[in-house]
Amino acid sequence: MVPLRAVVCFALLAAAAATDVKQCPGMDIPDLTENVQLSPCTKPPCRLKKGSNQSITIKFTPDKDLSDVKTGVTANVQGLVVPFVGVDGNSICDKVFLENGDKASCPLKSGTTYLYKDSFHIYAFYPSIAVKVHWELKNDSKDITCFEVAARIV
């Protein structure tokens, strides 16, 4: 039997790793904040340092079998929506894992919980500015999961 102290420590570590993200307009995804981890960022606005890499983990469970899933990643810069270079429109099929850490791939099965793990580079040519990042995982233009988070490119 696992000691209660170990369970409490694990729960606190998991909560500390989650990033405070917001629902995308028109969506209501249960436990969204607990299922998104941006590293290094636990509290918005996330500081995206030029020349560094940002890591992301999203936990999700599809409600139908999916042959492919793509990212939709944009930055809203003072009302202008621009794609995040190098991340927007990519297939996630080679970056998906089961909850136990085993590698998975497409097709994804309905009712199975997956972890999408990726990292992306913050390019030096990005302007130093506050942005709202919109990140979605989608299949045939239908959102599977989606969140928004305030960020500042520095």
Confidence of residue 26 (pLDDT cuts 50, 70, 90): confident
Residue 17 has pLDDT above 60, yes or no: no
How many C-beta atoms surround the C-beta of residue 152 within 10 A? 14
Is the model's pLDDT at 4 over the cut of 80? no
Residue 65: its pLDDT value, please?
94
Q: Say if strands 36-39 and 70-77 run parallel, antiparallel, or are unpaired.
A: unpaired
pTM beyond 0.75: the answer is yes
Topology, domain 4-52+68-90+121-153: Immunoglobulin-like (2.60.40)
